[in-house]
Structure 1
Amino acid sequence: MELRHLQHFVAVAEDQHFTRAAERLMVSQSGLSASVRALERELRAPLFVRTTRRVTLTEAGRALLTEAERILDRVRAAHEAVAAVQGVLRGTLSVGAEQCIAGVHVAGLLAAFRRLHPDVEVRLRQAGTDALAEEVAAGRLDLAFGVRTRTDHDQLRSVSLTSEAMVVLCRPTHRLAVAGAAPTPADLAGETFVDFHPDWGPRRTTDAVFVTAGVRRTVALEVNDVFSLLDLVEEGLGVAVVPRHFRRKRETLTALPLEGAGETEYETVALLPPPQATSPAARALMGLLDTPSGHSVAGSRSPAGAT
């Protein structure tokens, strides 16, 4: 089994089409077909169901795809590791991040990294922390910036970046803003809430606050981006419990400290594989956070520590 056979197989699986895969790989379609047939003969199993319009994976093909992607990822990592020893970073840096996290300015950090390592292709994916953690654990992301949650990620290291209190955001005319006192979770019973989808870190942190306080709440307005949440609160459609730094994105809103939240805080972390599996590019990016050039893009940080 040759690496090129696996590369050709993965390309066809991704494009679901031999012609498109051949064009992307810049090889002849006949050569690509012959490569896949050679792999099928060696494995003694058909890998694709072929039709005139598209190809789909067989059960054997689906099983092979997972392993083939893992093998090719490790080969790329090996090339990158050797290049790093020679003092040159190459390859790809795949980063995940939740929206508007505290402790690190992702755009500024990636820009600083690209200036230092122009030969590395930078990719970014936004999602909730749990989804990003799964991507890092599976090797599809080199690292991710998210939120510490109660969900255990045994395969990952968690490096603390910063932590902050949760606040209640509302309109200045809302009864809570008029009262001016810091509300407790019990004071918010019966309020209409705006919040993120359940896999987002801020939502999980807020849910934990209310569970701990024994107060039931219902999220009536569920969004998938920060500015939609702020718009809905500004229009008086609900209140939101969010990390304190969200207030800086919409200063027309009132932010009130949330009393009775106990030890619950919003903690931003970097999620990485074990040291031996961390790519040279990921190590270089994390190193930027601890250098003078990285201070301008990192924001305020608590001392980093791995768990």
Structure 2
Amino acid sequence: MDIHQLKTFVTVAREGSITKASELLFRSQPAVSAHIKNMEETLGLTLFQRTPRGMAVTPDGQRLLNEAHQLLDRHQKFLEEASRLRGSLAGQLSLGAGRNSSTGVVSNLLAAMSQEFPEVEVELQHRASVKVLEGIRNGSLDAGFYTETGEDDSDLSTLEISNFCVYLAAPANLVPSASEVNWKALEDVPWIYPSCNSCCGRLARDLLETHGIRPKRVINVDDEGVTRALIASGVGIGLVHANSTNPREQEGDIVLLTQVQKSARVLFAHLSCRIDDPVIAAVRSILATDNCTSIPFQGDQNIEAALIAS
């Protein structure tokens, strides 16, 4: 039995699903199933029961689960201590990032980690902001970037990476210009609408409810860059991010109709109890350098090697 099988055991138990565990571990479902089967055969115990809802941990499995967590923690501490003894940093970092969470900063961070701490294995997962927070709290992520959701984050240590405001935007000439938005008329215009799990998805839902309108056509897009491109090409209207300090009323082929949110922050976060973790401390030290903006990103070939599954 090896450390990878223990990690599989813990992940399946936490997620209650081989499918979800395989996605998080970047392994095939047959490989995850084989890990569980091999553990059960080695131990002579049944660790899971398959139910209509997924994988349920047996009483025996539950007792061993606590030991597995402790073994994984000790394994990580073993690697950290070995790093200290040889004067270098090694270990694993599972990092979450929203699709719109300062992509440049994330890229620069990965480049810096690859260059300065090549023995740290980094796994990057793209998730919605609420899923990044969920992952940090349930242990499937060590840290992550997310757009603030307004929920209590007192259990987290955070660093502000950037901020932006949100505008309702339209293609030039699609919506008549006026000092006040004619909300009723916007029902006839296609809306480019993100998922409700995203920052702009929640804002769009609240905006429609506030003004009592139901768009006749909705196009679901979860990427702000794609939304902006569709608006610019005349497809419809939607929410876009703008510079908080100097938003422009018109950006190329996009007209900013009205401000929806004055300020939204993009944050880097991890559990407060992990503030002294050497790998997380290394990440924080890099981010503290002008929020990584001073680090040139040149497509270092080592980055691909760093983005491997833990």
Mapped contact 1:147–1:201 kept (Cα < 8 A):
yes
Higher strand share: 2
Q: 2:146 — aligned with what?
A: 146
Q: Distance in 2 between matches of 1:289 and 1:102?
A: 12
> Residues 191 and 238 of structure 2 are in contact (CA less than 8 Å); yes or no, is this contact kept in structure 1?
yes
CA separation of 1:162 and 1:216: change in aligned 2, threshold 3 A:
farther
Aligned to 1:216, which of 206, 212, 219? 212
1:247-281 alpha-carbon deviations (Å, 9 max, x no partner): 99xx653141624x4x6422111121114466322
Report the Cα offset of residue 47 of structure 1.
1.8
Task: Say which SS state the counterpart of residue 280 (structure 2) adopts.
Answer: helix
1:173 is displaced (CA, Å) by: 2.3
Task: Give, as a single letter, the amino acid of the residue that structure 2 aligns with 1:195.
Answer: Y
8 Å Cα contact 2:221/2:227 also seen in 1: yes
User: Given the alignment of the two structures, is residue 79 of structure 1 paired with residue 78 of structure 2, yes or no?
Assistant: yes
Partner of 1:96, secondary structure, is strand
Q: Which amino acid aligns with 1:10?
A: F
- Which residue in the other structure is 1:88 paired with? 88
Q: Is the 8 A contact 1:103 1:268 kept in 2?
A: no
Deviations 1:38-65, CA, capped at 9 Å, x for gaps: xx3xxxxx32469xxxxx7653366468
Q: Work out whether 1:36 is the aligned partner of 2:43.
A: yes
**TM-fit CA distance, 1:107:** 1.3
Kindly indicate whether residue 244 of structure 2 is the aligned counterpart of residue 233 of structure 1: no
Greater C-alpha radius of gyration: 1
Alignment pair present for 1:111 and 2:138: no
C-alpha distance in structure 2 between counterparts of 1:166 and 1:19, whole Å: 44
**Structure 2 counterparts to residues 143-292 of structure 1, below 5 A:** 143-176=143-176, 179=177, 186=183, 189-190=186-187, 191-208=189-206, 214-218=210-214, 220-244=218-242, 252-256=252-256, 258-259=258-259, 261=260, 264-276=262-274, 279-291=277-289
Residue 67 of structure 1 deviates from its aligned partner by 3.9
Q: SS at the partner of 1:99? A: coil
Root-mean-square deviation over aligned CA pairs? 4.3
In structure 2, relative to structure 1, the CA distance for the partners of 1:60 and 1:289 (3 Å cut) is same
SS at match of 1:118: coil
Distance 2:163 2:295 in 1: 17
Alignment of structure 1 residues 54-69 onto 2, 5 Å: 59-60=58-59, 63=62, 67=66
SS, match of residue 162 in structure 1: strand
Shift, 1:140, TM fit:
1.3
Q: Are residues 286 and 120 of structure 1, via their aligned partners in 2, closer, same or farther at CA, if it must alter by over 3 Å? A: same
| 1:206 CA displacement | 4.4
Where does the alignment leave 5 or more consecutive residues of structure 2 unmatched? 13-17, 19-28, 298-310
User: In 2, distance between residues paired with 1:284 and 1:103?
Assistant: 19
The amino acid of 1:269's aligned partner reads L
**Contact 2:105–2:291 under 8 Å retained in 1:** no
1:188 is displaced (CA, Å) by 7.2
- Quote the Cα distance in structure 1 between the aligned partners of 2:144 and 2:182: 31
Shift of 1:146: 0.8
AA paired with 2:77?
A: A
Corresponding residue number in structure 2 for 1:7: 6
Structure-2 change in CA distance of 1:145 and 1:119 (3 Å) = same
Report the more deviating stretch, 97-106 or 135-144.
Answer: 97-106
- The TM-score normalised by the length of structure 1 is 0.69
Per the alignment, residue 304 of structure 1 pairs with none
TM-score by length of 2: 0.69
Equivalent residue pairs, number: 272
